[in-house]
């Protein structure tokens, strides 16, 4: 059917909370029929949020054609670009790209878009008429919305009235064949302009400095600094400090941010959308879990999900609201990045247990709006005086902090009569209103305390004098006396257990002040847990909404109960009362829900244990394994040995990226590992520098291992890479793709399960430049002979007795590796060999026609192309090598690096900057590391790590790596590891593509065989003949100069328009230019030539961009190989207009996406375009591929074109 909407883009004042904070320059999409009403309400309520001012959410059904009449009332050309949709790119792209006619509407004009809603899902829409990242832009000021496509035959009603609904972020969705469900659209938006009631920038009353920028949900935010002011003035709760009551409705009433209301057990769908411009957030939803890929039952179960700008996910909580145990109460939903949480990026999912018909009130007298029950759910009891239902049985006092839970505190209170009426029959400490443990399972019990103690992070004395950690009570003496090294607490628990925790607060009342932080009265602490089931009212370890405050005061003990219903990953735990103040000091840990019937042993002594970051797990049925836990940290507030703060903020209390980094309370900065020869190539070598203090994960050759990857603190994205190993992306799914890199944000948890095929040292690293520079790396060490401090796995053959001495530190570089001496572990002896001769050398790289260039480029190229590149006949592109399944690929690498061609010969690399700058001279050695392939890590990993031989080459040297293509894993990232500071961002990277067996590679113009190239034709007789392969290498952190030789300081130099407060906005890892395949089409260059924002992507005005223009004919099979080998921590989104692909290309059940989030160093993706070029309908035209980050990628040149022809082109043969 055809469904029609008339949408208007309007300027609007957006009031973002009840404190009168507002955006005077907001912009939004609204339905025409609501336009007048919205404008009138806003005019009458200049300082109060208006319900109708919300991101436009409209709906359609699968199979519908949606006609959108778009009317533009903004003072610039604007449009609506729909992700996921199928549409004619010439008429309905909502953009002005390449040679297409513009599908933007000028100010005052209208345009008709026709959108095919082919599949159920989130069709997020934004404007591409004005991509400025400043407050003059559109997205940043609120111009976004979504079309939600429901299952065929659905209809939707207002949750309050039950009436039909035309638009709205909340709806009840019904279908004749499917359960009705609650649908909540949840738009993260960030960096929007906000003024306070007085029209000035909001001030943080604690620091008296500018408050953090806007981080909110659905145009609302509820920052701590506003609520703090009410405490300071003594209006409410004068004995409170601030952070511990930030989310407390007893003190402040409900927040202005979304409250997702439902009844216990209601089926639910949160449409999670990142409509913001810059940060990769982590969406966390207490109590509930969901499948990462809802269409794939073999997908991972998660309860935190990182989300990059212009990405979106369906969050469908398993078991409905309240999860398996049927919890009731207020469940906080928030961005887990703590500075964002503090800035107001949170809301509540309120789960009622009694019918709300509009006659009831909250404890503060505010009426509870009616909530229609879902028609196919059981009837709910009505509230009575004896059983008033949540929240009215809780004995709190309005204006005061929430009460403590009954039964939980040792020596605390019993239940009131109303609480008894609301309690489950067998109410007990930690499980009063929900029976969290089903039936009568086995019980495991832990006694844990929180303590403060100094923690030393490395041999150079970097230290946190106020470390705060969880520790088992039985370990208290050993940890406090220094006998036991502090490490994050990791508890090991078999699935099916009922877990009881007795948690004692042994912290001092005060977190002292210093260069990083102001004095804070952190007088209570909790133990908040992820994944497991629990009674959220009393065991959340938090203080949320109308719930109890389930934390504990100093010297007291609280009892919690959780249920591990099935084998899970590592479940994260941390404090939820003062996490912004002290989690970065170490307040985090994990429990690992191991397979039922497991036993756990100390890997060194063989004694049975229940805790440890490295343990050995045995099981009667499944193979035994090593279990390792790694917690990455940022905002580590460390001092050097002389007491000087490391990377302090501008003022104490600032959240502007203070401190450095760590893993498990340790770091091993590269600046201390130059060795006597001052050569970065041996920074990871244990021969030269000894082993790092960071974790060395120990195993024997052949052992199965599981790495539990977590992030303990505090705000930033990190990119975990393991060199030489790989694991399944979706562990329960046999069809899963393989990975050797994983993006992580705080509170996410990943389990990487694999075997170690061969003895050697494997590098693990959070491998963006700044992280690894500051020491976030370590080793996986696999022994081939017995060692004293590692028990063998009982079900594996005993390791042979030691005959060779263990290697020792020599202070000298190791001997050169001999890759010809071994075969890759999985290779067959008669495998075909494919050979490449690769040279690493320096050459200027011209990035665009405006003369932006890198005069100090370092590239890899095939030997036969070197002369053409050096004489300027060929402008280089990143090296792309290929091999077929079964091949052994021998890559002979030669270094022609010259010291005089490095820009920073004094050893100080000033731009793009990193924290803790130090002397680190450029290495003349270079290497080539590849991810995902099969090779002997001691010879062919392209890095000199631990006690492995040297795998780098100096000038005049050669090494021939042996890589085995064990499977058609597609895109693999390639980069140099010899000098991650001075080489990689200058171009020392590329890609390897692992193709199916029998594939040949052809030039797209001549169809003659080729050896390399980013744009080729693949021929495979078994896979349908020919297809096109486009390799897109996304990279950032580039140091460019303009044609006058002036340094380009991106992102600042590329911003379109005027931007205030630049110093606060740009983090170290935002610095540097960026683009695709050594090219960037910075919009500022175009804007200077022709200052019309809506024309900036137009080839009719500017010609084609410098970034690759990939060409195909409509309907031709196309695979995009996307990777990001280099180099910064800021995560990017990749989006291709008008096309979709499988999230997991190997899995037919996998969801379809038109974007890839979380692009950070090491990422490698394969996008098999469904329907081929032009999408499912094969529409010809120019399709933009681009970053989803308005701030700061698109302006800075991260975009290009895929051109889909319908007519024959003389230069391009059809497939």
Partner 1 sequence: MTHDNSNNIDVNAIHDMALLDHFIDGIGQKVIILSPSFPFLFIGTIVDVVEDLIELDVETTHFSQLEDRTWFIHIHNIEVFYIERPGEPQIPELKDMT
Q: How many residues bind partner 1 (CB under 8 A)?
A: 16
* Tokens 């913001």 -> residue: 276
Report which of 936, 938, 701 is spatially closest to residue 800, judged by C-alpha positions: 701
Separation of alpha carbons 453 and 935, rounded Å: 43
Backbone φ, ψ for residue 460 (5° rounding)? -85, 0
Beta carbon nearer to partner 1, 493 or 924: 493
Q: Is 936 left (phi over 0), alpha (psi -120 to 50) or beta?
A: beta
Which two tokens mark 1148? 């037919």
Number of residues written out for the chain: 1215
438 binds partner 1 (CB under 8 A): yes
**Is residue 378 a contact point for partner 1 (CB under 8 A)?**
no
The verdict on 998 binding partner 1 (CB under 8 A) reads no
The site string for partner 1 over 514-553 (x = CB under 8 A, - otherwise) reads ----------------------------------------
Choose between 618 and 822: whose C-beta lies nearer to partner 1.
618
Nearer to partner 1, 36 or 442 (CB): 442
Of the two residues 279 and 565, which places its CB atom closer to partner 1 in the complex? 565
Of 439 and 482, which has the nearer Cβ to partner 1?
439
Q: Is 389 a binder of partner 1 (CB under 8 A)?
A: no
Nearer to partner 1, 621 or 871 (CB): 621
Rg (CA), the chain: 29
In this chain, which stretch among 152-160, 439-447, 654-662, 1198-1206 interacts with partner 1, using CB under 8 A?
439-447
497 or 1150, CB closer to partner 1? Answer: 497
Identity of the residue, 365 or 425, whose beta carbon is nearer to partner 1 in the bound complex: 425
For the window 446-485, what string marks contact with partner 1 as x by the rule CB under 8 A? ----------------------------------------
Residue (597 or 998) nearer to partner 1, CB: 597
Residue pair 344/221 in contact (Cβ under 8 Å)? The answer is: yes
3 state SS of 269: strand
Placement of tokens 């022709």 in the chain: 1090
Residue 71 structure tokens: 């009317």
The DSSP-derived string for 1131-1153 is -EEEEETT--EESSTT-TTS-EE
**Contact with partner 1 (CB under 8 A): which of 90, 380, 398, 444?**
444
Q: How far is the CB of 704 from partner 1 (least distance, A)?
A: 18
Identify the residue among 176, 199, 365, 439 touching partner 1 (CB under 8 A): 439
Of residues 358, 461, 555, 620, which one binds partner 1 by CB under 8 A? 620
Shorter beta-carbon distance to partner 1: residue 2 or 621? 621
Q: In the range 1045-1104, which residues lie near partner 1 by CB under 8 A?
A: none
- Using the minimum distance from each CB to partner 1, give the nearer residue, 596 or 997: 596
| CA 699, chain centre distance (Å) | 29
Tokens of 544: 């949320």
Pick between residue 443 and residue 644 the one whose CB is nearest to partner 1. Answer: 443
Say which DSSP state 549 is in: B
Residue 609 CA to residue 877 CA, distance in Å, equals: 54
For the CB of residue 592, give the shortest distance to partner 1 in the complex, in Å: 13
- For partner 1, the closer of residues 495 and 553 by Cβ is 495
Binding residue for partner 1 (CB under 8 A) from 1, 2, 379, 621?
621
Q: How far apart are the first and last CA of the chain?
A: 36
- Check if the beta carbon of residue 979 is closer than 8 Å to that of residue 970: no
Q: Which is nearer to partner 1, 39 or 492 (CB)?
A: 492
How far are the Cα atoms of 122, 308, 613, 1097, 1152 from residue 118, in angstroms, in the given order? 11, 24, 47, 28, 11
CA distance 580 to 204: 15
Measured from the CB atom, the residue of 599 and 1189 that comes closer to partner 1 is 599
Would you put residue 872 in left (φ > 0), alpha (ψ -120 to 50) or beta?
Answer: left
* Residue carrying the six token digits 């932080």: 517
Residue choice 521, 596, 796, 997 for contact with partner 1 (CB under 8 A): 596
Which two three-digit tokens encode residue 474?
């039985």
318 binds partner 1 (CB under 8 A): no
Question: What gap in Å lies between CA 1087 and CA 314, rounded to an integer?
Answer: 38
Indicate whether 597 belongs to the interface with partner 1 (CB under 8 A). Answer: yes
Name the segment binding partner 1 (CB under 8 A); options: 440-448, 464-472, 515-523, 1015-1023. Answer: 440-448
Q: How far is the CB of 463 from partner 1 (least distance, A)?
A: 37
Which of 1161, 723, 782, 1144 minimizes the C-alpha distance to 984?
1161
Separation of alpha carbons 1176 and 1173, rounded Å: 8
β-pairing, 777-783 vs 696-700, is: parallel
Q: How far is the CB of 618 from partner 1 (least distance, A)?
A: 11
Given the complex with partner 1, which of 494 and 1125 has the nearer CB atom? 494
Rule CB under 8 A: say whether 441 interacts with partner 1: yes
- 100-108, 234-242, 493-501, 909-917 -> range binding partner 1 (CB under 8 A): 493-501
CB of 257 closer than 8 Å to CB of 347: yes
Residues 701 to 740: which contact partner 1 by CB under 8 A?
A: none
Nearest of 789, 785, 813 to residue 799 by alpha carbon = 785
Least Cβ distance, residue 620 to partner 1 (angstroms): 3
Is residue 607 part of the contact set for partner 1 (CB under 8 A)? no
Query: How near is the Cβ of 594 to partner 1 at its closest, in Å?
Result: 10
> Least distance (Å) from partner 1 to the CB of residue 597?
4
Residue 1165, both tokens: 């993706």
Largest CA distance in the chain: 88
DSSP code of 210? Answer: E
Q: Kindly state the tokens that stand for 1072.
A: 């540097």
Do 493 and 444 touch, CB atoms closer than 8 A? yes
The binder of partner 1 chosen from 566, 818, 828, 1209 (CB under 8 A): 566
CA atoms of 665 and 658, how far apart (whole Å): 16
Closest CA to 725 of 690, 771, 772, 765: 765
* Candidate ranges 254-262, 494-502, 823-831, 1073-1081; the one touching partner 1 (CB under 8 A): 494-502
Q: Which stretch binds partner 1 (CB under 8 A): 595-603, 835-843, 872-880, 947-955?
A: 595-603
Within 701-781, residue ranges assigned H as helices are: 769-773
Q: How far apart are CA 98 and CA 102, in angstroms?
A: 9
Which residue in the set 373, 496, 545, 1174 belongs to the binding site for partner 1 (CB under 8 A)? 496
CA distances from 85 to 81, 90, 1028, 1168, 1188 (A): 9, 14, 23, 17, 16
* Cα-Cα-Cα-Cα dihedral sign, residues 458, 461, 463, 465: positive
Using CB under 8 A, pick the residue from 57, 126, 599, 927 that binds partner 1. 599
Nearest approach in angstroms of CB 442 to partner 1 is 4
497 binds partner 1, rule: CB under 8 A = yes
Q: Which stretch binds partner 1 (CB under 8 A): 87-95, 163-171, 492-500, 1204-1212?
A: 492-500
Among 442, 519, 806, 1007, binds partner 1 (CB under 8 A): 442
Q: Least distance from C-beta 177 to partner 1, angstroms?
A: 23
CB of 438 to partner 1, least distance (A): 5
**Stretches 49-57, 303-311, 396-404, 441-449: which one binds partner 1 (CB under 8 A)?**
441-449
Rounded CA gap, 497 and 105, in Å? 60
Contacting positions for partner 1 (CB under 8 A): 438-439, 441-442, 444, 494-497, 565-566, 596-597, 599, 620-621
């Amino acid at each position: 059917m055809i469904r029609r909407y008339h949408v208007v883009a309007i300027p609007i004042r957006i009031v973002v909370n009840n404190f009168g904070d507002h955006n005077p320059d907001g912009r939004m999409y609204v339905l025409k029929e609501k336009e007048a009403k919205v404008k009138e309400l806003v005019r009458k309520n200049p300082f109060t949020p208006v319900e109708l001012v919300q991101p436009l959410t409209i709906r359609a059904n699968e199979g519908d054609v949606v006609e959108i009449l778009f009317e533009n009332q903004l003072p610039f050309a604007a449009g609506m670009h729909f992700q996921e949709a199928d549409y004619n790119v010439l008429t309905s792209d909502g953009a002005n790209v390449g040679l297409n006619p513009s599908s933007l509407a000028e100010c005052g004009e209208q345009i008709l878009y026709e959108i095919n809603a082919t599949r159920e899902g989130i069709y997020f829409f934004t404007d591409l008429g004005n991509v400025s990242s400043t407050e003059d832009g559109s997205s940043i000021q609120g111009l976004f919305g979504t079309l939600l496509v429901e299952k065929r035959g659905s209809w939707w009603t207002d949750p309050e009235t039950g009436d039909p609904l035309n638009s709205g972020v909340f709806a009840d969705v019904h279908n004749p064949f499917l359960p009705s469900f609650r649908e909540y659209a949840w738009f993260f938006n960030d960096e929007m302009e906000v003024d306070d009631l007085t029209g000035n920038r909001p001030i943080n009353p604690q620091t008296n400095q500018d408050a953090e920028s806007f981080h909110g949900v659905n145009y609302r935010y509820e920052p701590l600094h506003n609520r703090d002011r009410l405490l300071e003035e003594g209006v409410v709760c004068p004995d409170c400090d601030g952070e511990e009551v930030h989310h407390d409705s007893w003190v402040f009433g409900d927040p202005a941010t979304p409250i997702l209301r439902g009844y216990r057990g209601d089926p639910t769908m949160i449409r999670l959308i990142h409509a913001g411009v810059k940060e990769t957030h982590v969406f966390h939803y207490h109590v509930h879990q969901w499948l990462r890929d809802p269409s794939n039952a073999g997908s991972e179960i998660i309860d935190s999900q990182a989300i990059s700008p212009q990405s979106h996910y369906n969050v469908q909580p398993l078991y409905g609201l309240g999860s398996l145990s049927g919890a009731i109460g207020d469940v906080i939903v928030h961005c887990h990045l703590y500075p964002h949480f503090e800035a107001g990026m949170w809301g509540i999912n309120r789960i009622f247990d009694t019918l709300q018909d509009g006659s009831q009130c909250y404890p503060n007298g505010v009426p509870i709006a009616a909530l229609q029950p879902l028609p196919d759910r059981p009837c709910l009891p009505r509230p009575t005086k004896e059983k008033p239902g949540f929240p009215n049985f809780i004995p709190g006092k309005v204006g005061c902090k929430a009460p403590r839970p009954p039964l939980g505190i040792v020596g605390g209170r019993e239940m009131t009569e109303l609480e008894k009426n609301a309690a489950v029959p067998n109410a007990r400490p930690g499980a009063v209103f929900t029976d969290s443990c089903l039936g009568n399972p086995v019980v495991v019990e832990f006694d844990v305390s929180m303590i403060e103690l100094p923690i030393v992070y490395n041999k150079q004395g970097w230290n946190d004098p106020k470390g705060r950690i969880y520790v088992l009570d039985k370990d208290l003496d050993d940890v406090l006396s220094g006998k036991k090294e502090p490490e994050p607490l990791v508890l090991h628990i078999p699935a099916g257990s009922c877990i009881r925790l007795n948690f004692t607060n042994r912290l001092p009342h005060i977190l002292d002040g210093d260069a990083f932080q102001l004095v804070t009265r952190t007088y209570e602490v909790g133990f908040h847990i992820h994944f497991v089931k629990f009674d959220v009212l009393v065991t959340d370890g938090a203080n949320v909404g109308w719930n109890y405050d389930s934390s504990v005061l100093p010297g007291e003990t609280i009892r919690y109960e959780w249920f591990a219903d099935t084998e899970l990953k590592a479940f994260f735990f941390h404090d939820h009362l003062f996490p912004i103040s002290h989690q970065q000091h170490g307040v985090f840990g994990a429990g690992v829900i191991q397979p039922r019937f497991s036993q756990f042993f100390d890997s060194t002594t063989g004694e049975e244990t229940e805790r440890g970051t490295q343990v050995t797990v045995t099981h009667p049925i499944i193979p035994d394994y090593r279990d390792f836990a790694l917690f990455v940290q940022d905002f580590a507030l460390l001092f050097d040995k002389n007491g000087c703060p490391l990377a302090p903020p501008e003022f104490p209390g600032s959240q502007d990226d203070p401190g450095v980094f760590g893993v498990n309370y340790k770091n091993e900065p590269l600046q201390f590992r130059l060795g006597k020869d001052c050569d970065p190539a041996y920074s990871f070598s244990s021969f030269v520098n000894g082993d790092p203090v960071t974790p060395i994960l120990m195993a024997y050759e052949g052992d199965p291992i599981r790495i539990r990857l977590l992030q303990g603190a505090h705000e930033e994205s990190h990119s975990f890479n393991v060199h030489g190993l790989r694991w399944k992306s979706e562990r329960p799914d046999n069809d899963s793709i393989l990975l050797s890199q994983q993006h992580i944000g705080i509170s996410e948890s990943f389990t990487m399960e694999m075997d170690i095929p061969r003895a050697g040292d494997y590098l693990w690293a959070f491998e963006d430049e700044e992280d690894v520079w500051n020491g976030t790396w370590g080793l996986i060490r696999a022994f081939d002979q017995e060692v004293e401090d590692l028990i063998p796995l009982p079900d594996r053959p005993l390791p042979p007795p030691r005959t060779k001495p263990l290697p020792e530190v020599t202070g000298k570089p190791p001997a050169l590796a001999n890759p010809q001496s071994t075969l890759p572990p999985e290779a067959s002896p008669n495998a075909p060999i494919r050979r490449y001769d690769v040279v690493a050398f320096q050459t200027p790289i011209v990035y665009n026609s405006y003369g932006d260039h890198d005069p100090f480029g370092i590239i890899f190229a095939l030997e036969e192309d070197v002369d053409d590149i050096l004489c300027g006949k060929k402008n280089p592109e990143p090296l792309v090598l290929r091999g077929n399944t079964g091949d052994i690929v021998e890559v002979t690498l030669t270094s022609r690096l010259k010291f005089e061609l490095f820009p920073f010969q004094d050893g100080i690399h000033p731009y793009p900057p990193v924290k803790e700058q130090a002397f680190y001279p450029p290495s003349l050695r270079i290497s080539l590391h590849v991810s995902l392939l099969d090779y002997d890590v001691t010879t062919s990993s392209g890095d000199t790590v631990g006690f492995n031989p040297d795998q780098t080459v100096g000038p005049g040297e050669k090494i021939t790596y042996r890589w085995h293509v064990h499977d058609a894993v597609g895109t693999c990232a390639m980069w140099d590891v010899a000098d991650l500071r001075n080489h990689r961002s200058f171009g020392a990277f590329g890609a390897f593509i692992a193709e199916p067996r029998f594939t040949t590679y052809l030039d797209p113009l001549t169809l003659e065989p080729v050896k390399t190239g980013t744009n080729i034709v693949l021929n495979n007789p078994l896979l349908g003949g020919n297809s096109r392969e486009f390799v897109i290498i996304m990279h950032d952190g580039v140091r460019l100069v303009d044609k006058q030789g002036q340094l380009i300081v991106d992102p600042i130099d590329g911003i379109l328009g005027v931007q205030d407060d630049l110093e606060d906005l740009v983090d170290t890892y935002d610095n540097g230019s960026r683009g695709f395949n050594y090219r960037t089409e910075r919009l500022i260059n175009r804007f200077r030539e022709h200052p019309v924002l809506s024309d900036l992507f137009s080839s009719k005005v500017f010609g084609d961009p410098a970034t690759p223009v990939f060409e195909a004919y409509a309907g031709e099979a196309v695979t995009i190989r996307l990777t990001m080998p280099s180099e910064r921590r800021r995560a990017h989104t990749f989006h291709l207009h008008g096309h979709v692909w499988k999230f997991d290309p190997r899995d037919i059940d996998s969801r379809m996406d038109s974007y890839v989030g979380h692009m950070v160093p090491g990422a490698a993706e394969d996008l098999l375009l469904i329907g081929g070029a032009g999408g499912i309908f094969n529409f010809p035209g120019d399709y933009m591929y681009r970053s989803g980050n308005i701030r700061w990628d698109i302006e800075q040149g991260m975009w290009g074109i895929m051109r889909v022809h319908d007519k024959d082109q003389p230069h391009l043969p059809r497939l």
